[in-house]
Amino acid sequence: MTAHHPTSHTAARVRRLEERLIAAGLTDDAELDGIITRFLAGASPLNGARIVARAWVDDDFRARLLTDANSAIADVGLSMRSGLQEQRLTVVANTETTHNVVVCTLCSCYPIGLLGPSPSWYKSEAYRSRVVRDPRGVLAEFGLHLPEETTIVVHDASAESRYMVLPRRPAGTDGRTEDELAALVSREGLIGTALV
């Protein structure tokens, strides 16, 4: 996506809330920055890549991932818990005939712990509104040109529910280790705006 979004209304509201908490003496900028730093310390697209690589080599794990992702990702030491709340994770698999792409049309809900901080284009109003109406056109802007017969399914994340794409395993990767396979997976592949 080439569109760049201005400071969002939500970000401005969050900052006003932070300023009120600071003014009331309940916290300060350093403490808020520390919370964010601790939260993001383990957040990386490598986590999602590890999940994908395991699903590519372990059929049982793949089946459980597609039916109960929250339970399955515990096998690789990951969780969708943030604070007291556990968000529901749904993993959707690309096939020969179906390609999945993820968006949050309301804001920018996104599995940060599995994919790292969201890219700016994911939060942009242009992406959020257009990928639902014209997914093929938006994917083409990312350089992803899918055959006309490929069905594109758009999944809309929410505050309670997150999505991650399970890309198709590339041909010619038999015999590679999980680490080698994980190295092939990009954040964009986990969102569905790129192939692996």
Residues belonging to the active site: 104, 107-109
Nearest alpha-carbon partner for 91 in 189, 179, 195, 196:
189
CA–CA gap between residue 164 and residue 176 (Å, rounded): 23
163, 63 contact by CB (below 8 A): no
Q: At what angle do helices 29-41 and 9-23 cross, to 10 degrees?
A: 130
CA–CA gap between residue 72 and residue 106 (Å, rounded): 28
* Residue 165 backbone dihedrals phi, psi, to 5 degrees: -90, 135
Residues near 122 by beta carbon (within 8 Å), at least 6 away in sequence: 103, 104, 108, 110, 191
CA–CA gap between residue 61 and residue 69 (Å, rounded): 9
